[in-house]
Amino acid sequence: MRSWGCRQGALLRFAGSGHRNARHLSTEARMRSLLIGKDTKVMYQGFTGRVATQNAKDSIAYGTKIVGGVTPGKDGEHLGLPICPSVRAAKDQLKPDATAIFVPMTGAAAAIEEAIEAEIPLIVAVAEHIPIYDMIRIKQMLKGSKSWLVGANSPGIIAPLHSCRIGFQPLPIYKPGHVGVIAKSGTLSYETVGSLSRAGLGQSLCIGCGGDPIAGTTLEEAFRVLVDDPDTHALVVVGEVGGHAETGLARLISEYRANTDQPKPIATLVAGRTAPLEHVMGHAGAFQGPNEPSAEDKYKTLQRSGSTMVDHPEKFGPIVKKLLNVPGGFSQKRAFHTHRQRIGTATTSSRQQQIRSLHLKGAKTTDLLAKAFPDFHLNESASTSSSSIQVIGNLNRTTANPRIEFHLPGSDNQDSNNNVVYLELDGSGEHKQALEEFGSSISRLKIPAVDALVPHLRPAALSLSKFMQSYEVLSAQLSLSLGDKGQPTLGNAVLHFDDAAFKSAKRQESVFALRDKSVEDQTEVEAESHGIVYVTLYPNDPSASIGTLVNGAGLAMNTVDVLALPPHNAKCANFLDTGGKATSDTVKKSFELILSDQRIKVIFVNIFGGLTDCGMIADGIMLAFKEVDMRGVPVVVRLRGTNEEIGQKKIAESGLSLEAFDGFEDAAKRVVELANA
């Protein structure tokens, strides 16, 4: 691995060593494993699988030091490298610095745990749809371990400057250089890297934090590593809706800039600024939970921190070039062509269904809650008043613990005043201090309207925390009041469940049996059955007339954002994520779904081919024109990335009524013109 050298002291000073204990110092030491390089020894879990085999071949060709891997119960050789029967055996024989976990989502959590138990320094998990409470358990294991985790639901980590790749990043778009990239979204990170490379700016280290609520490596942690890395001269950060990571990052940026004579340039994007509430926007973690800041709030907080804000990743290249005072102008014409030839990238043998979360409210929640709250009366539609308390259960995405908040009369949010008390129970089971602090907070409450409810706060908090863990709840909202007979009453429940637990791990069957698809948006239901995430936007607004077809949740959110915000000020009728591994058939089906909305006046196809081949996307578009009634709706196409020239050529020579663009901004302007025509 790259020598950490003098960087250790710098990182610890920036982290604030004066108030950190030994465990936190150990955390800082473990974070150093993120600085991968040409000497980093990498093994695979699931080594002999088809996807891992192709990925290993590509990574070896790239320069990564692959030393072998694990296939349970097997010995021998694969690709001329050792196969070990267990991770523990691989640790002893191969002495790896890192492991790449390429096993299906159903076994990914167990594979991560096995790597932690074997004390592999860096664990990179790329699988989507690992149940969130499995990740909570893993985060608790990591706290006392010698391992560090990247992912899950992440493209992984790659060091173009040092020819090391652990993940499934599309290699041709990466170029050695000195810009560090940190991103929640895979597709947005690819677009970002493509922009940097076209501008002549290579990358030092790119860390994919992933789109799950519980991330092995957070934006803040990745920032702390890269900001002290002498190989990194500028940083690009891509955040999105969901959680508090971006606000924590803003505090770090402010602190860094205030205490550094010549701070490195930092440019940032936040996707999902126009995302609707109560919808999961593709990624499992791409939703705004109760009392979490909106993406727009996070954008403004980062802007105040001194970061240079960007509205679309295509702009990162010229903006970072300007911030670094790199000589030479920037041309929108392609100046970096290494992504003409496609290096094989990892794909699954069959497309996994996009998994969305389950929201339940009203009568469907009563039986579930009754088992968890035997001492409380339940009322499906209890009235809220100045004598009721709002109860919010949420996951603290930073600490990976359930957090129960009580918002008393007069409190608008958790920071507005002292009328909010909360209980957060550590997953390790050490609750004594938390309960003492909670009790102390309750004892200070002096609000006559709810005095009679105060004795019920502790049992309600403990019961709700246990309920969330038992049923794998992502968030819960209830009201607490006194009934007509003076009994504590819970009502107006809105519960948000993680359905990866159901579809990946076959848990919570009784909960998901309550789902009634007949009352849901039928276009969204049909899209789900085809592995597509579709969300109808502004359903009652006829001016929402732009249909969007995008690959990847982050890029899809950002596309809607840019069209909706100034200067365009247009409205999209839908959010559509074909998935990072779209096929011709899913593209065709996506057109059918979009055109089922009679408001559509123009369709915008915005594809950045990372794992997705632009030539294949072009085939899907032409297939749609052949087999779908397009209703004369014009289509604007922007294809960039893997095999972009092949895709653009197919579109140009198709003879179809298509308008093709190279740059996003030109395409967006044309889309808005057609929508307003």
Q: Active-site positions?
A: 283
**Three-state DSSP class for 77?**
strand
18 CB-contact burial (10 Å; exposed 0-12 / middle 13-18 / buried 19+): exposed
Task: Please compute, for residue 471, the number of CA atoms within 13 A of its CA located in the half-sphere on the CB side.
Answer: 26
Length of the chain: 677
567 prior amide bond cis, ω within 30: yes
Residue-wise over 408-428: b if at least 16 C-beta within 10 A, else e? beebeebeeeebbbbbbbbbe
- Residue 560: C-alpha distances to residues 243, 245, 272, 317, 667 (Å): 20, 22, 8, 21, 13
CA angle 666, 275, 293 (to 5 degrees): 120
Beta strands at 234-240 and 176-183: parallel, antiparallel or unpaired? parallel
User: What single DSSP character describes residue 622?
Assistant: H
Asked if 283 contacts 240 with a C-beta cutoff of 8 angstroms, the reply is yes
In angstroms, the CA 42 to CA 2 distance is 13
In angstroms, the CA 514 to CA 435 distance is 34
- Residue 308: C-alpha distances to residues 245, 541, 566 (Å): 17, 34, 17
In angstroms, the CA 591 to CA 584 distance is 11
In angstroms, the CA 197 to CA 321 distance is 11
**DSSP of 236-285, one letter per residue?**
EEEEESSSSHHHHHHHHHHHHHHT-SSPPPEEEEEE-TTPPTT---SSTT
Please provide the distance, in angstroms rounded to a whole number, between the alpha carbons at the two ends of the chain. Answer: 57
- Residue 21: C-alpha distances to residues 12, 33, 34, 321 (Å): 12, 20, 22, 40
φ, ψ for residue 459, nearest 5 deg: -60, -35
Name, in order, each residue with C-beta under 8 angstroms of 388's C-beta and a sequence gap of 6 or more.
Answer: 382, 409, 450, 479, 480, 481
CA angle 312, 313, 315 (to 5 degrees): 80
Could you give the strand order of the β-sheet that contains 98-101, starting from the edge strand earlier in sequence?
76-78, 81-84, 65-70, 41-45, 98-101, 122-125, 148-150
Q: Residue 111 belongs to what H/E stretch?
A: helix 105-117
